[in-house]
A and B are shown apart, each in its own frame.
Chain A
């Protein structure tokens, strides 16, 4: 039961932070390229591309090894990169903006450089979570449905919370750090889950030896 709650908590929080980061992403680009429909289109399409690649890659990783340890390693990338965004993000914005590309191409390039890789790793989480759930319940359809439903519920919450409240409370850079910290919490949950898994494996090995 605890493992199930842990798994759904990770699904919810990753959905929450993924959408919150997306809302804030447009506000990062707006002082450079504005908030035209092209900027929105660039950010949304890059994020969807990252998630798409992540789903495919995550599925293949999940087929080999869907342990909490691997999950923790996957989450480390978005957690670290998003928490550290204020350190490098604005410098990258200034650098790419100074190349003076056409606004559409520039916005697309900047969004790709900043957001594609973290979202690949965010996308990889869901197939891993589905695989873990399906292994426990032996029901693939409902496992996939439940994990995606909980993750989407987290996305809805993240979208509303960020756009209705967070933007009004704190700055964009601090908001991004908050989203990064949510992934850090996910990483911590995976790390604890990984320790329990390894402890359980050692125990079963010892039991086998005794037999």
Chain B
């Protein structure tokens, strides 16, 4: 007795052929990302499927917290990625090591100069690829830089692949930044916070209590800058803006191009204002970085009425209630 009819056998064969037809190109694209070589199926895939930038994976490691990859794009730029095929945490061009590429880093590099110059002490929460600490160290050799980073592998990766350098005045504190900010007695001229990624928003770094401790850790006219990536969660963004504004009434929000990031800037006890002298200082410092354009960055400021509209009705996050993981 035949177990399979001829009709069923034909259907099974057709299904297998279709599966092969679809899966081989996808596999080819994935291999392409890894190897950079090309074959018939890869060219076939690239013709029919949306173009995916080819990146070589220079380094890959499962750390305690992330699957970290360092990927090199077609133009030689290096991307620090915390989850395969997700947005880069940092981008660096080895051929132009002082160039700052991403809009969020440009914003942070410019606004760190709003602090008293030269800053005595700067705190970075989240190291990433170390682009902005590198910029600070390049221009201010005497500044003490403290970096709170939860993942012990990241500093080594930043040093090896992104031109980040440590020195006697750079202190890397491995651990949760909330613990550090709770305990520290230091006063900072600038606190730069860049600690969220697509899969992990640590709630204890989003709350009113946290930002009160940040404010306490700033000198009288110290500056704070927070990078809040646009993860497609408008309620979270609204809550975060309201929380920060509750603690820092001086808040000014800047929106990076394409609304990829919201940069939350505040100078303690001063409304956002750039004096002529400060403008001259910043322009002079950025002379070697033509990509840092103060005028362009200021133009991205969110109008106050738009900010009020966003935060209206939003909840302030507290240590007791900050459901950031479930917010959309």
Contacts and interface: CB of A to CB of B under 8 A. Distances in A.
B325 A34 contact: no
A204 interface: no
B221 interface: no
Contacts of A103: 175-176, 179
Contacts of A27: 203
A209 B207 CA distance: 69
A30 B175 contact: no
A170 B327 CA distance: 13
A52 to B, nearest CB: 25
B155 to A, nearest CB: 16
Contacts, number: 58
Contact of B326 (A30, A37, A168, A171): A168
**B interface secondary structure, majority:** loop
B321 interface: yes
A167 interface: yes
A170 B179 contact: no
B326 A35 contact: no
Contacts of B64: 37
B321 A33 contact: no
A167 B204 contact: no
B65 interface: yes
Interface string B234-256: 00000000000000000000000
Contact of A35 (B182, B202, B209, B318): B202
The range of chain A's interface size is 20 to 34
The range of chain B's interface size is 20 to 34
A36 interface: yes
Nearest to B181: A34
B175 A36 contact: yes
Contacts of A100: 183
Interface string A9-43: 00000000000000000010011111111010000
Nearest to B319: A31
A30 B321 CA distance: 12
Contacts of A171: 318, 320-321
B323 interface: yes
Nearest to B327: A168
Contact of A172 (B177, B179, B320): B320
B178 interface: yes
* B176, B177, B183: residue with the most chain A Cβ atoms closer than 10 Å: B176
Which 5 A-B residue pairings sit nearest by Cβ, starting from the closest? A34-B176, A171-B321, A168-B326, A31-B319, A168-B323
14 contacts: A30-B203, A31-B204, A32-B179, A33-B176, A34-B179, A34-B202, A35-B176, A35-B202, A35-B204, A37-B65, A100-B183, A164-B326, A171-B321, A173-B320
Interface of B: 64-65, 150, 175-179, 182-183, 202-204, 207, 209-210, 318-321, 323, 325-327
